[in-house]
Structure 1
């Protein structure tokens, strides 16, 4: 996996010589439109990058978009892969490590998730401040490459406190009514049962989805500072009368895309001020 990341980074270096992105961004279901805002963009299909598996889910294009966004040099993963597609947890390793090798210091994940709080509103944003891994696997299982990180990386502070403070401040300045909480990742692809939703709430989770956690584990292992935002596309099963579907996820993801874009652009602009 490490060698694939090095080869992928070499491909990018050939296409965009001297380009050193500071922030790597993953765009989740229905949220890929943010990549269209990247200026002076160079687009590389995942198929051109060693170790990059092609997403098979609608709303995930499978492209790496490199350029300028919010005053920062960025590398956007327009689409991600999920364990429920049949990939092992280790499939995310080359994607995240490539971002690190390209020069990224921050990893910013976005996703679509179901809200576990009954007072949440579909289309609202939630800042992630911690996670619970219920996917039954870990992307760091197997040989450890010490050049990226230690055998036993800590996950306290997985979501950077300074980045969280910046997101809160930007949301407040923009008048965005964001929530904040714990994201729980399941394997999928089935949505949760009513009993599972009740159990997840008792565990302390505020939203449930099928991604992000493996990426954050890999990102923290290799020293990236992490931030993550969920678009709450629905209330979880049993909390409303609405029937859950992927179409619903895409609909509310697209509806919230403008709010997410404003939040991400504000965050990137703040990083420029801080740096």
Structure 2
């Protein structure tokens, strides 16, 4: 894998000669964050050696390089999921590449279903912890010590310092935010009512099909990580509705300006 990472980075460096500080993964309906970036280079995934290609509607599929207030950023406009047929090493490969390119901080975003009755559609949740229920682990197999340790300390997967900073920003911008535990399931089906109940019973506040593999790999490489989720549907017993991908994207779009503002201010002020 290290050779593939070097090969990919060599291609990207030749194309961009760019040394980013922040990496951002843009989830469902949040791709327009790139409008906040003073873009210098755009590389479609299809042109990058060893990169998978996103197959999900709402995920455009490009690496964006640029600045936000002089902070250098690389953004993934579209991510990869286990349910698309990729293995976990492929799903997390771009995180390894961004680290090799120079990032020290990673911001991940997603859309998720809420099981916390304090949430509603459009709620913005700062992810404070997660439970990994995906059937394959991104660190399974041989461990290359040059990438990170065999056994990874996950006592603080999401940076408490970054969460604190975003809370301060939210207060200043008068944006209501929640905190919660994110549960990752395989997908691509949305959850049944019984699955939503299970999520709540094991301590989850929201559920989705992404993010956790990227965060595990980020921590493996000692990247400071922040996660943010938009609640796009509710799965509480009195509030479960039929959900579609189109409705998820629509709900994410409604919250997107606030999420964009929080991420932008975090990058500028951190």
2:251 pairs with 1:243:
no
TM superposition shift of 1:190: 0.6
Q: CA RMSD in A?
A: 1.2
TM superposition shift of 1:238: 4.1
**What's the counterpart of residue 10 of structure 1?**
10
Distance of 2:10 and 2:50 partners within structure 1: 13
TM superposition shift of 1:40: 3.4
Unaligned segments of structure 1, at least 5 residues: none
8 Å contact from structure 1 (residues 237, 244) kept in 2: no
Please identify, of 137-146 and 127-136, the stretch whose mean Cα deviation from structure 2 is larger.
137-146
TM superposition shift of 1:237: 6.3
8 Å contact from structure 1 (residues 70, 266) kept in 2: no
TM superposition shift of 1:8: 1.4
Which secondary structure does the structure 2 equivalent of 1:40 belong to?
strand
Alignment coverage as a number of residue pairs: 270
Unaligned segments of structure 2, at least 5 residues: none
Could you give the per-residue CA deviations for residues 78-112 of structure 1, whole angstroms, max 9, x where no partner exists? 00011111111111232001110111001100000
Could you give the per-residue CA deviations for residues 130-161 of structure 1, whole angstroms, max 9, x where no partner exists? 00001111111112111110111111101011
8 Å contact from structure 2 (residues 183, 207) kept in 1: yes
Give me the TM-score of the superposition, normalised by structure 2.
0.97
Distance of 2:238 and 2:3 partners within structure 1: 45
8 Å contact from structure 2 (residues 235, 241) kept in 1: no
Distance of 1:70 and 1:211 partners within structure 2: 29
Distance of 2:183 and 2:240 partners within structure 1: 22
Distance of 1:169 and 1:261 partners within structure 2: 15
Distance of 2:118 and 2:178 partners within structure 1: 11
Give me the TM-score of the superposition, normalised by structure 1.
0.95
